[in-house]
A and B are shown apart, each in its own frame.
Chain A
Amino acid sequence: MNQLFDLTALELARAIARGDVAQSDVIQGSADCIAVSDKLNCFTAISVSDPIAATPDSSLSGVPMAVKDNLCLAGTATTCASRMLRDFIPPYTAAAVEKLLCAGAVCMGKTNLDEFAIGSTSETSFFGPVKNPWNLEYSAGGSSGGSAAAVAAGLVWYALGSDTGGSIRHPAACCGVTGMKPTYGTVSRYGLVSYASSFDQIGPIARDAADCAAVLDIIRGHDRRDSTSLPGPYPSLSAQLTGDLRSVRIGIPDVYFDEAVDEPTRCAILSCADALRRRGATVELCRASGLEHAVHAYYVLACAQASSNLARYDGVRYGCRAEAAHDVQDLFVRSRSLGFGREVQRRILLGTYLLSDENYDTYYKKAVAVRHQVEGAFRALWHSYDLLLTPVFPGPPPKLGQKTNDPVALYQEDRYVACANLAGLPALSMPCGMRQEGLPIGVQLLGPRMSDGAVLNAAFAFQQETDFHRRHPPMFGLGGDAE
């Protein structure tokens, strides 16, 4: 394995800047790995962007990265892993991607995902499931499974994902890498294909917290093209990585540390708490009420927003168009039935049901009320704690095919992560242990809105104490050749 692959994105950028390594060699090394990584199925398209000369102070200039295939890149297919958009070539580039390219990032391609980012195992992709680099029989998690697998396998140094109900944090935990969903509104959603607009947020998946902070420092900021974009200010996140946790109070909410959490996950999280204590934090179990129904509210609101957002795909302006339609309505029905996969159709139909006249008060209005209750519950917790520590999911990652026909089981596992989306909070997942079967264990840190720096600093401190983020699967830096 080329030793370059052991470097983090920041370390690699510094090596390129010093002239220790040629940027062209780095790009070629990454391209060579990607070329033999077919068995992971983590790319929907491989296309190396032309490197742009970045400003001298750009911290990630020249570093190869990848972009989840629900983020638009002008001139490159943006499929959302759906038959519906298989041939869609956007005429514009997502704001977050544009910022990275202007900062000298080299995009190696688009990564695989659950169709329209709807799912948590990356198995609903039109292009087939993403495999976990640690064990090809397991899911890479989802929906940003391709981004997480590509980083974990050392194909790229970081990748962009999107997180609507855990879709960055879940695959990051499955694949043993670090992923962050920033505060809602801090990264422009312009150019992100919408799933559930009040939850969707773009964020990085990288090798450690420092790389995540560096990516976020580039992509954060106000954008007039996204009406939910926050005006700022946006202080440097990287500058907040001191590793000092003295006077930081961290709670482990009992509602997320229950009997559903298996023993290896429980032990790993308690060890993580000990590491954070060694850095000066106080960590304790805490009572949390008002969060019990967060995942139920999340599913009502996400399905409702999905049914509305995905109404735009009708076979007229872009996307899949069915043949032999005898009128316009028939064209809509045939094109949508042909273009959307089963899980997407299920969510659209559920959302349509939940928004119908007779069910609106029973489900939708209640879910909105629960969302406010969840925001209130978090506000109460922030009186006593600066950050919270929770599992990302309660056991091993799912085996491929294990839960595809059991939506209830899949949806229930999102309860540890979806709460952050309901309240718009920054939340990060990082590796904190290994299971006996050789799969990574993840832990989640979350904090109040706009406390992204504090969340990242706690992760940074943990990663100063431990080396889980430096552990790699056998195929790391070799594409699929080691398997």
Chain B
Amino acid sequence: MTINNKTMADLERKAALSLTDTERAELTAQMNAVLSCLDVLRTCPDCPPAEPSATCTLRTDQVLPSADRAAVLTNAPETDGTFFLVPRTVE
């Protein structure tokens, strides 16, 4: 089995998710089924790096208006009117 309880606990920590025992058992089984299907990729030969088919164009470095602060803060669960608020990080 590729993913066991210990692996899953590690993945949850890395992905900042927390599953119940029932969810963990179900997702572990499903993810192992998907991974055994993806294992066919192991047999594929490596190939040398190729030029990317989609190219990113860098913008010129130019100051432009940004989003309106008040409008952006409207969607935040908690703010002080200027900044986003989170639980205290330093005691």
A residues in contact (CB < 8 Å) with B? 87-92, 184-185, 198, 224, 227-229, 231, 293, 296-297, 299-300, 307, 311, 314-319, 321, 325-334, 336-337, 340, 342, 345-346, 348-350, 352-353, 356, 362-363, 365-367, 369-370, 372-373, 375, 405, 407-408, 411-412, 423-424, 449
Contact yes or no, A367 B41, CB < 8 A: yes
Q: Please list 20 pairs of residues, one from A and one from B, whose beta carbons are closer than 8 Å in the complex, sorted by A's number.
A: A198-B54, A228-B57, A229-B57, A293-B40, A296-B38, A333-B16, A333-B17, A337-B17, A337-B19, A345-B23, A348-B15, A349-B11, A349-B12, A353-B3, A353-B7, A362-B42, A367-B41, A408-B33, A408-B37, A411-B34
Residues of A within 8 A of B71 (CB): 91
Evaluate whether A328 and B89 lie within 8 angstroms (CB atoms) in the complex, with A317-B75, A321-B78, A373-B47 already known.
Answer: yes
Residues of A within 8 A of B74 (CB): 89, 91
Contact yes or no, B16 A327, CB < 8 A: no
Residues of A within 8 A of B47 (CB): 369, 372-373
Evaluate whether A327 and B40 lie within 8 angstroms (CB atoms) in the complex, with A228-B56, A373-B47 already known.
Answer: no
Least CB distance, A118 to chain B, in whole angstroms: 14
Contact yes or no, B67 A369, CB < 8 A: no
A333 to B19, CA, bound (A): 10
Interface presence of B50 (CB below 8 A)? yes
A449 to B56, CA, bound (A): 16
In this complex, how many residues of chain B approach chain A with their Cβ under 8 Å: the count is 49
Contact yes or no, B16 A299, CB < 8 A: no
Residues of B within 8 A of A315 (CB): 77
Residues of B within 8 A of A307 (CB): 15
Interface presence of B63 (CB below 8 A)? no
A274 to B54, CA, bound (A): 35
Which A residue sits closest to B31, measured CB to CB? A350
A362 to B42, CA, bound (A): 6
A307 to B14, CA, bound (A): 10
Evaluate whether A227 and B59 lie within 8 angstroms (CB atoms) in the complex, with A342-B23, A369-B47 already known.
Answer: yes
A341 to B31, CA, bound (A): 16
Evaluate whether A375 and B53 lie within 8 angstroms (CB atoms) in the complex, with A91-B68, A349-B15, A352-B15 already known.
Answer: yes
Contact yes or no, A185 B14, CB < 8 A: no
Residues of A within 8 A of B54 (CB): 184-185, 198, 228, 424
Q: Which 8 A-B pairs have the closest CB atoms?
A: A321-B77, A91-B71, A318-B75, A366-B41, A227-B56, A372-B50, A332-B16, A369-B47
